[in-house]
Structure 1
Amino acid sequence: MNLVSRIRNQRQSLGRALRACVLALALPFAAFPLAQAQTMPPGAKQPSDFPRAKLTAGMYVIDAAVAANDADREQGLMYRTKLGANEGMLFVFNENAVHCFWMKNTLIPLSIAFIRADGTVTDIDEMQAETENNHCPRNNGVYALEMSKGWFTAKGIKPGMQIKGLPQPQ
């Protein structure tokens, strides 16, 4: 075998090995979106299945999914991989109390505002994804509003401000 033939064979072998490596590295990433879609357990509510409310915080309009029963509040934003720019979830409770939250199975970092029955924001907290730390307000409230992490700060929303358009607890 002459030198040119050996070089050609080595190039072909190297090309096959390189393609195999690229394929081996790419396959796990190709399956990633499918794996994300499968993280929603059977029976979990799809984001579009929650009732919606249009809320306002200052000049900002919020598109909020509403979790007003035990099952919806328990699921909350679990398993979601993204939120729209002014999208969030409003938790409505039937009692004025301290309602604590955690981020188990919640894949995106969130900010949470705790709100009294009259719409006044009492506390705002930042929450890391997939943690089990308790996030509890210092004050009693009837609502909690979760938004993408940093949303309240970016919009200048602070304790003492009002959220309008809140549905009545049942």
Structure 2
Amino acid sequence: MAAAITRILTLVLLLVAAGTGPLYASETFPTGRLTIETASGGKYGFAIEIAQTPRQMAQGLMFREQLAPDAGMLFILPATQTMSMWMKNTLIPLDMVFIDTDGRIVNIHERAVPHSLDTISSAGPVKGVLEIGGGMASKLGIRAGDRVVHEAFQPPK
């Protein structure tokens, strides 16, 4: 428990430091694709930017004025952990999709409020977080338990 709290506090401090200026507004991100498969049979593809380094994770989608409906950013964590984020310097509403190691969606925080300093956390340990446009999860019927297909997540055998 203490280790998880330490990881969360470290990430929060990193995000606080990152949000203080435009230094992080110039990060570049590798790109890729992922698919979300819903329990109801839907398959939704997203063009993604991938945040893996501390600097990329700190910048995230801050300072963006728009996000295409089929676009998003995938944060791939170095280790499975409880993840906490916020919306400082984020100009658009986002849905945050928290994903475990096998690609299952643990929980979704819908329509995160731009500029908010409120902490948004996963409901348990996760390997990644997908940020998509605010309201897209509801519009597409994406729910906890659905599956994200991407090489960062290993499906159960």
Question: What is the Cα deviation at residue 43 of structure 1?
Answer: 5.5
Question: What is the Cα deviation at residue 137 of structure 1?
Answer: 1.2
Q: What corresponds to 1:108 in structure 2?
A: 92
Report if aligned partners of 1:105, 1:130 keep a CA contact under 8 Å in 2: yes
Give the number of the structure whose alpha-carbon radius of gyration is greater. 1
Change (3 A) 1:166 1:128: farther
Matches of 1:160 and 1:125, distance apart in 2:
14
Change (3 A) 1:160 1:50: same
Question: What is the Cα deviation at residue 42 of structure 1?
Answer: 4.7
Q: What corresponds to 1:4 in structure 2?
A: none
**Which structure has the highest helix share of the two?**
1
Q: Mapping of 1:10-159 within 5 angstroms?
A: 41-42=22-23, 44-45=25-26, 49-58=28-37, 59-126=43-110, 127-159=112-144
Structure 1: stretches of 5+ with no match in the other structure: 1-39
The residue type equivalent to 2:36 in the other structure is A
CA shift digits 1:98-142 (9 cap, x unpaired): 010100000001000000010000000021001100000111001
The residue type equivalent to 1:147 in the other structure is I
Report if aligned partners of 1:53, 1:165 keep a CA contact under 8 Å in 2: no
Question: What is the Cα deviation at residue 70 of structure 1?
Answer: 0.3
Matches of 1:151 and 1:77, distance apart in 2:
16
CA RMSD of aligned residues (A): 1.7
Question: What is the Cα deviation at residue 165 of structure 1?
Answer: 1.6
Q: Aligned to 1:163, which of 115, 127, 148?
A: 148
Among all aligned residue pairs of Structure 1 and Structure 2, give the percentage whose two residues are the same amino acid: 31
**Which structure has the highest strand share of the two?**
2
TM-score (norm 2): 0.77
Structure 2: stretches of 5+ with no match in the other structure: 1-20, 38-42
Report if aligned partners of 1:119, 1:166 keep a CA contact under 8 Å in 2: no
The residue type equivalent to 1:45 in the other structure is S
Count matched residues.
128
